[in-house]
Structure 1
Amino acid sequence: MEAGTHLGIISILPPILAIVLAFKTRNTIFSLFVSIFIGVLLTGNGLLAFPDLLKRSLGTTSFSWILLLELFIGILIAFFQRTGAIQGFTEIMRKKNLSRVKIQLTSWVMGMFVFFSDYFSPLFVGSTMRSLSDKAKISRDKLAYIADSTSAPVSVLVPITGWAVYLSGLLVGMGPIINQEMAMSTFVKSSFFNFYAIGAVLMVGLIATKVIPDFGPMKKSEERAINEGKVLRDGAEPLVGEELTETQAYPGYKINVFLNFIAPVLIVISIAIGTYIVLGSAKTMEAFMAAVVFLGIVMRIKGIPFKDIMDTAVRGMKGVMPAIIILALSYSINELSKEMGTAYYIIEITSGWMSAVVLPALTFIIAAVIAFSTGTSWGTFAIVMPIAVPLAFGFSGGEINMLVLATISAVAGGGVFGDHCSPLSDTTILASTGAAADHLDHVKTQAPYALTVSALTIVLYLIVGFIGA
């Protein structure tokens, strides 16, 4: 199918079916599989198109990268547990007698600290703080929400991340933006108008400090955790294997929090940020590989048998398999949505409403709907940015004014909303994995908070549009 074409209303059926089935059956893997299968049939390409779709979507550099990243993260977390590193860190934090509020705020700050990777952030925060939050009777849903809301929403605001490079790169050639340097400067200025990302991060702090009390399904989850001591609801299926949640420290191993926890984390952070500064691209997967190798050597030197180290590594890989399966199917439905022209259909049925006043607000809504339906923010950026920003320049007379900056931020914020909230999104899946939460419970409890921020964002964009028109 040529770029810009679509299959009409049929093109939105697979993602809608996946989301509806997921909430109805509470089985994400089954729901994705069924929706992909039916979507392939709707394209009229026959049954053989199903395995062909899987091969196309999974046989890519993009999926290979996230597959390896997930595996190395799983191994690192398993190593942390086998060396007692997380238990040691938890014990240090426990001695500080942190309250429920302070534990949530600590998780919030940790998520913002690991700003360079929206993949590492939710897994790091969830796996590190899970034991501590369990003891404080904080629901896994709340921990997943905190981890999720400090990943993509933070990454899109910081100008030294892959998100910033990618988004600014899309701006080159639009209006007076003639090079990458000018594009980055424009992106940085637009970040002040990214009301959704800013609001999503601030919302966590307000919820954690009880300035805004818990509401909706999250309130029920927190009441259950506090009153019944159940951090998961009865019948919940945590999106992580028992290989990771049940791994015990090696008998007789002397815990060294610096060597077994802090040093590997510093390796990940220093390599990721260092490669970004030197090479212009953060080598996150390579950073985790280096941390795994380092910690494996430390474990062997400190007396853990080689066989046990390898067995632990295998358990780590098995532990992240539920997330990898869902990610694989999410990549497939994303590829199917591209082929069916889902994003272009959504843009076409809304383009008639465009005016300078509603441009930022409508851009945010369109980007949010596309990202939520497809589970990809970067794909949304690539589709919406070349359409919305030239429109903004048309209204502004070719000048980089408030309307243009707000429209750029609306594309970024709308994409983050979908990436942050969709059950099909990789970072949403990783947040559920890190916190060992039921994936759909995480989506359901987080949604009211995200929608609240979205509603405020739309109002602010309407105000900006009115002023800038």
Structure 2
Amino acid sequence: MDPQDHIGLLSVMPAALAIVLAFVTRNTVFSLAVACFVGVITLGNGLMGFPTLLKETLGTTSFSWILLLELFIGTVIAFFQRTGAIQNFTAWVERRALSRVRVQLVAWVMGMFVFFSDYFSPLFVGSTMRGLTDRYRVSREKLAYIADSTSAPVSVMVPITGWAVFISGLLIGMGPIENAAQAMGVFLHAIPFNLYAWLSVLVVGLVIVGVIPLFGPMREAERRAQEEGKVLRDGAEPLVGEELTEIPPYEGVRTSLFWNFFAPVLVVIGVAVGTFIVMNSAKTMEAFLAASVFLGIVMRLQGIPFSDIMKTSMAGMKGVMPAIIILALAYSLNQLSKDMGTANYIVEVTAGWLTPALLPAMTFLIAAVIAFSTGTSWGTFAIMMPLAVPLAFNFSDDMITPLVYATVAAVAGGGVFGDHCSPLSDTSVLASTGAASDHIDHIKTQIPFALAVALLSLAMYLLLGLTL
């Protein structure tokens, strides 16, 4: 489809339908499936258009990558539970006599520490801290919020992540940016202007310590957890299989907190960061494959039978299947949105708003709408960077100015907003999976905070645009 092509207002119907149905039915799989089916019928592809869409979307390298990544992460988490590593970590933290607030602050810091992967971060933080936060009566919704809002917002601000490489790669050839070094320089200078990402991470900490009071559905969820002891609402459906939440530690084998928990995490970080430095590409999936093999060898040396190790690995893979199914349908809906020109339509109807003073604010707003509608931040970057950044250069006489930095940051922040509060987003799905929270409950409790941060960011971009 040509960058200017779309099918008009109908192009936003599948994404809008998926979002509305998700909130009404509380069933994300059903909502996504219906949206995809309606979309292919609207495009005139007939009844066979739906299975054809699935085959073409899921038979790709990008989906194969996330499928393998999730399977290996599920294996690592299952190994953590079978060796008692998470229980050992929980006991280790409890010996520090932490308060309820400090336990949440540990999750907040952990989310920022695992900066190299927005996929691993929410799964790791949620699954690692879940037992501890349950004991301190922290709702699963709040744990998912903490894990979600410290994943993508942090990853988009760190220059040694795939996010930085992708965004800087899109900038090459725009204005005076001629090579990767110059593009990365622009990315680095844009970091202070990424208001939404900074505020998202900060607000989580302020909410935890009580400087910002709870409001909306999150307040009710926390009241329920503290007063009734219910970390999940009655009737909630946690987005994780029982195979991954009910794995008991292997009896009769003494495990080590270092070898069964910290060492595998160091393997993941070492491989991911090491490959980024050497190959200029963080091999996240390979990092978790290495950690899975490492943990399997350690478990065998500790006396756990090989058959049990393989059974645990299979249980871990089964446990992440609910998330994988949602991701598969979300990928299909994203492809459908591209075929229908959803983003092209949104950009076209808002293009007339863009003036030099309004450029950062309108760029953030349009990127946020696209990301929320499609559930993809990287797709939003690919669409908005070639549209907004050349405009910034045009207004700046083809020079790299603060207006350019602010525009790049606005695209990044708007993409992150949609990425971590859209029910179609992979990161929000993984946050629900890691925290074993009901997915729609997570979205409903997080949106008020994300929206408040987005509105504040929009106001600040308006002031910034007028100043620049």
TM-score, structure 2 as length reference: 0.99
Whether contact under 8 Å (1:357, 1:466) holds in the other structure is yes
Corresponding residue for 1:423?
423
Corresponding residue for 1:463?
463
| Structure 2 SS opposite 1:282 | coil
Kindly provide the CA deviation profile for residues 433-456 of structure 1, in whole angstroms up to 9, marking residues without a partner as x: 000000000000000110111011
Corresponding residue for 1:404?
404
CA drift at 1:180 = 0.9
Corresponding residue for 2:185?
185
CA drift at 1:41 = 0.2
| Structure 2 SS opposite 1:231 | coil
Select between 188-197 and 251-260 the one with higher mean Cα deviation. 251-260
Corresponding residue for 2:222?
222
**Residue 137 (structure 2) pairs with residue 127 (structure 1):** no
Corresponding residue for 1:251?
251
What is the identity, as a one-letter code, of the residue corresponding to 1:276?
Answer: F
CA drift at 1:416 = 0.6
Whether contact under 8 Å (2:168, 2:184) holds in the other structure is yes
Corresponding residue for 1:304?
304
Kindly provide the CA deviation profile for residues 349-404 of structure 1, in whole angstroms up to 9, marking residues without a partner as x: 00111111111111101100101111111111011110011111111111211211
Displacement over 6 Å in runs of 4+: none
Corresponding residue for 2:111?
111
Corresponding residue for 1:335?
335
Corresponding residue for 2:281?
281
Corresponding residue for 1:60?
60
Corresponding residue for 2:385?
385
**Residue 440 (structure 2) pairs with residue 440 (structure 1):** yes
CA drift at 1:253 = 1.7
Corresponding residue for 1:93?
93
Kindly provide the CA deviation profile for residues 41-64 of structure 1, in whole angstroms up to 9, marking residues without a partner as x: 000121122111111110111100
**Residue 39 (structure 2) pairs with residue 39 (structure 1):** yes
Unaligned runs of 5+ in 2: none
What is the identity, as a one-letter code, of the residue corresponding to 2:256?
Answer: N
CA distance in 2, matches of 1:4, 1:127: 43
CA drift at 1:251 = 1.2
CA distance in 2, matches of 1:169, 1:83: 42
Instruction: Output the aligned Cα RMSD.
Output: 0.7
CA drift at 1:99 = 0.8
Whether contact under 8 Å (2:255, 2:302) holds in the other structure is no
Select between 295-304 and 267-276 the one with higher mean Cα deviation. 295-304
Unaligned runs of 5+ in 1: none
What is the identity, as a one-letter code, of the residue corresponding to 1:271?
Answer: V
CA distance in 1, matches of 2:74, 2:169: 32
CA distance in 2, matches of 1:333, 1:223: 36
CA distance in 2, matches of 1:26, 1:79: 31
CA distance in 2, matches of 1:464, 1:89: 45
CA distance in 2, matches of 1:397, 1:217: 47
CA distance in 2, matches of 1:289, 1:218: 36
Whether contact under 8 Å (1:6, 1:341) holds in the other structure is yes
What is the identity, as a one-letter code, of the residue corresponding to 1:87?
Answer: Q
Whether contact under 8 Å (1:187, 1:408) holds in the other structure is yes
Corresponding residue for 1:16?
16
Corresponding residue for 1:166?
166
CA distance in 1, matches of 2:197, 2:168: 17
CA drift at 1:295 = 0.8
The share of aligned pairs that are identical, in percent, is 68
What is the identity, as a one-letter code, of the residue corresponding to 2:286?
Answer: E
